[in-house]
Amino acid sequence: MNLLRTTKKRILVTGGAGFIGRALIRSLLLETNSFVINLDKLSYASDLKQIESLLKEFPELESRYLFYKFDLCNDSLIDNVIREIDPDFIFHLAAESHVDRSIEGPKIFLESNINGTFNLLQASMKFWEDLPLDRKNNFCFQHISTDEVYGSLGDEGAFDEKTPYAPRSPYAASKAASDHLVNAWHHTYGFPTIITNCSNNFGPWQFPEKLIPLAILKALSWESIPMYGTGLNIRDWLFIDDHIRALLLIASKGIRGSNYCIGGYGQKTNYQVIKFICSYLDKINPQTDSYLTLITSVEDRPGHDFRYAINSQLITKELGWKPIFTFEEGLTKTIEWYYKNIDWVRSLHDRDHQL
């Protein structure tokens, strides 16, 4: 099945009010003729302004978009909801995703990421089993996960599709469990699934609890920019547009039952990331002192993974994907967007602190 060339497919995106989900819905509406259903429980990090802005700019897209406010943990109603949505394809992104919050309160991560995925798998499989043969053969459940399920790397090496799971935080453990559930449903029941594990995403419209938008917000508010320990922990950064291209390509051409690792080849220490942000803001919005003076070392979090890196050779070899944006290009675009939209960032940050 080539998702981008088919017409009138009904595509369900769970977690479509989150950072990656919103970007995916935008691409689906602009680049396909599919009908897109956004299912989200609207938690603290949810926001629909990006989609609302898109529909305002292109009102003709409204006829191909529908929003459902629903919590996947509601197992008593989920069967009816999935049958009502009547999907041909499911992108499952709904998840709690912040490591620090998982350390402070792990229960909701187990409920959302494990129980929610289980409920969705069960309801989706029941629905799939009753589909006509042509729709059944083209159906797929694509589960979007993280590289954090693989644990932490030393100075060398990279995660790939054969790396053993070794999660080290409640968040990573809950995502690892959800990956295993999806994999088990494929091998036990023949349910058509694909799993993707991506590195750290960044870009415009990201909720300001994550490193990059938080650093930009703190800098532009002239507040201390928190940096864990020495800032030498390394992440592989993936620009959101490159991730969305990978997800759509996998949906179109990926092999059912497979998993694909998606990385940006953008390994940077946390200090390098924050330094780039500060130095760039010094150029476009100079102050009396450099933004670099705001960087403040804070106590490291428990079990902080040292390094993540992804080997994306499989998706490159099988499907021809590779990132278009360098880390510097993506971060420049991101800083400029937040600089122009800082009021949106502050409103979300303030709303979160009022909850």
Q: Does the structure show a pLDDT above 50 at 291?
A: yes
148 in active site:
yes
Q: What's the chain's average pLDDT?
A: 94
Q: Does the structure show a pLDDT above 80 at 133?
A: yes
In the set 150, 171, 280, 291, the catalytic residue is: 171
44 in active site:
no
* Domain membership flag for residue 246: yes
pTM of the predicted structure, to 2 decimals? 0.95
Mean pLDDT of 71-83: 97
Give me the sign of the Cα torsion angle 105, 38, 337, 352: negative
Tally of structural domains, the chain:
1
13: CATH? 3.40.50.720
Q: Do 259 and 194 touch, CB atoms closer than 8 A?
A: yes
Domain range holding 148?
3-203+239-264+308-324
Quote the CA–CA distance of 166 and 169 in Å, as a whole number. Answer: 10
Could you report the per-residue pLDDT of 223-265, keeping only the tens digit for each?
999 999 999 999 999 999 999 999 999 999 999 999 999 999 9
| pLDDT band with cut points at 50, 70 and 90 for residue 304 | confident
Residues 6+ apart with CB under 8 A from 248: 3, 4, 24, 27, 28, 31
The DSSP string of 235-297 is EEEEEHHHHHHHHHHHHHHPPTT-EEEE--S-EEEHHHHHHHHHHHHHHHS--SS-GGGGEEE
* Domain membership flag for residue 120: yes
Burial of 172 (0-12, 13-18, 19+ CB in 10 A): buried
The DSSP string of 127-172 is HHHTS-HHHHHH-EEEEEEEGGGG--B-SS--B-TTPPP---SHHH
Could you report the per-residue pLDDT of 270-283, keeping only the tens digit for each?
999 999 999 999 99
What pLDDT does residue 4 have?
Answer: 55
171 in active site:
yes
* Domain membership flag for residue 215: no
| pLDDT band with cut points at 50, 70 and 90 for residue 3 | low
Could you report the per-residue pLDDT of 18-54, keeping only the tens digit for each?
999 999 999 999 999 999 999 999 988 889 999 999 9
Terminal CA-CA length for the chain: 43
Q: Does the structure show a pLDDT above 80 at 349?
A: no
Structure tokens at 163: 């790396």
Could you report the per-residue pLDDT of 161-201, keeping only the tens digit for each?
999 999 999 999 999 999 999 999 999 999 999 999 999 99
Please identify which residue in the block is written with the tokens 């978009």: 65
* Domain membership flag for residue 336: no
In the set 40, 88, 96, 147, the catalytic residue is: 147
* Domain membership flag for residue 285: no
| Number of Cβ atoms within 10 Å of the Cβ of 157 | 11
Residues of the chain above pLDDT 90, percent: 88
* Domain membership flag for residue 213: no
DSSP H or E segment with residue 180? helix 170-189
C-alpha 114: how far from chain center? 16
Q: Does the structure show a pLDDT above 60 at 141?
A: yes
Q: What are phi and psi of 317, to 5 degrees?
A: -70, -45
In the set 71, 148, 160, 305, the catalytic residue is: 148
What amino acid occupies position 27? S
What pLDDT does residue 1 have?
Answer: 45
* Domain membership flag for residue 230: no
* Domain membership flag for residue 339: no
- Residue 338's nearest CA partner among 202, 201, 216, 240 is 216
Q: Does the structure show a pLDDT above 90 at 302?
A: no
